[in-house]
Amino acid sequence: MIDEETRWIVEKIYELALLGNGSAKVTKLLIAEKIPTPGYLNYKRYGTFANIYADAPEEKSWSWTIAQVKSILRDETYIGNSIHYRETNVSFKNKHRVRKDKSEWLRIEGTHEPIISQSDFDKVQGQIASRRRERKDSTTQIFTGLVKCADCGWSLSFATKKQCKTPYSYFKCSRYSSLGKAYCSGHFIRYDTLYAYVLSRLQFWSGQAHMDEEKLLKKLLNASDRETGVIRKKQESNLKRAEKRKSEVDALFTRLYENWVAGRITEYNFNMLSAKYQDEQAQLDEQFKGLKAKLNETRQTVSDAEKWMSYVKEAAYPTELTASLLNTLIEKIVVHEADRHEDSTAEQEIEIYYRFIGKID
Ligand SMILES: [Zn+2]
């Protein structure tokens, strides 16, 4: 029997998927439109799961999850088939449910009136499969989280241009692509360009590590000294500022107390201001602790340089990049906007910040 009250929701989910939206996007759209979830509708109608919904905030009624949407998009019930034995209990003692392999499902076709047509259903399954394939063979995710925009600091997002003779992948500033050119510029860089450059740098350092360890270590220490020197100065001045403010707050607090004792301010005002000062004192104490810890960190440079060198040596003249290699050696890659020249050539600066040691050239 078709549930006429909820049928529109299923239809809507398929409609959104047929427009080319993946499960994550469909979920977002359902939440944005405040479409009620099946769980909430059941609660409304039959009072089930009152423990979840009764005192929950309003948003709970449309808190869709990607897993829910996925399972609706794969459910053959909506094209009129009945599927049995989809799950099985491992044993009587172990109540964990195990999903059975598709081949073990018992499918009975045409047991009831469908909501979704077979052809729409097939189209959606095709989209799900192709999206999964794409994700699988995109070796391109190796740079995830590492590539940043030099101007706004946001991540560069990855995309593939398919509507051309030779499809290619590229990165561009995610702030620019989501907010527009008033917020940043493209910072466009081709994936293969970035790949070749980063690989050549890692090959260079690995070569150096094998040729003359001593010399490289010296170089790393010099670079990290410069790098951490700047950071340390900044941290020290932050620490000084925090210290100064702390003594100011202490003085203010003392004066406040005197004013209260002398009856110059009301108890109410005293309480209010004293709470405010105590909050600030607590915050400053926290900040203090954090800054001190950071200062200690920057003092560990020698062992850090040695660590990085042993990693780059281990990489033994790499011929390809992997996510683990990149994440072991590199902290972030900062991409600048390209300088385009009149003769249609362009120059683009790419800065690599290595883990433990920062930037070296
Ligand atoms: Zn940017």
Distance, CA of 228 to CA of 295 (rounded, Å): 10
Number of domains in the chain: 2
* Tens-digit pLDDT profile for residues 247-296: 888 888 888 888 888 888 888 888 888 888 888 888 888 888 888 777 77
What spacing in Å lies between the alpha carbon of 171 and ligand 1's midpoint?
Answer: 11
Distance, CA of 15 to CA of 11 (rounded, Å): 6
Distance, CA of 148 to CA of 139 (rounded, Å): 19
Distance, CA of 73 to CA of 77 (rounded, Å): 10
> Furthest-apart CA pair in the chain: how many Å?
88
Mean pLDDT score of the chain: 83
Same-domain check for residues 109 and 140:
no
What spacing in Å lies between the alpha carbon of 141 and ligand 1's midpoint?
Answer: 20
**3-class state of residue 48 by DSSP:** coil
What spacing in Å lies between the alpha carbon of 344 and ligand 1's midpoint?
Answer: 23
* Tens-digit pLDDT profile for residues 110-121: 778 888 999 899
Same-domain check for residues 219 and 195:
yes
Q: Which of 73, 95, 129 is the last residue of a domain?
A: 129
Residue 68 belongs to some domain of the structure:
yes
Taking 90 as the threshold, does the pLDDT of residue 313 lie above it? no
Helix axes 301-314, 213-261, angle to 10 degrees: 140
Taking 80 as the threshold, does the pLDDT of residue 95 lie above it? no
CA angle 179, 353, 167 (to 5 degrees): 55
* Tens-digit pLDDT profile for residues 152-162: 999 999 988 88
Same-domain check for residues 31 and 152:
no
Number of Cβ atoms within 10 Å of the Cβ of 17: 23
Same-domain check for residues 305 and 323:
yes
What spacing in Å lies between the alpha carbon of 335 and ligand 1's midpoint?
Answer: 9
Residue 197 belongs to some domain of the structure:
yes
Q: Which of 97, 129, 161 is the last residue of a domain?
A: 129
What spacing in Å lies between the alpha carbon of 189 and ligand 1's midpoint?
Answer: 12
Contact 184, 192 (CB under 8 A): no
Per the listing, tokens 């004013």 go with 259
Same-domain check for residues 141 and 243:
yes
- Residue range of the domain that includes 156: 132-361
Long-range contacts of 30-39 (CB under 8 A, 24+ apart): 30/62, 30/64, 30/69, 31/62, 31/63, 31/64, 33/62, 34/61, 34/62, 35/9, 35/62, 35/64, 36/9, 36/61, 36/62, 37/61, 37/62, 37/63, 37/64, 37/68, 38/6, 38/9, 38/68
What spacing in Å lies between the alpha carbon of 147 and ligand 1's midpoint?
Answer: 11
Q: What residues does the ion ligand 1 have nearby, CB within 5 Å?
A: 149, 151-152, 173, 175, 184
Global confidence as pTM: 0.46
**3-class state of residue 248 by DSSP:** helix
Which pLDDT belongs to residue 348? 93
Taking 90 as the threshold, does the pLDDT of residue 86 lie above it? no
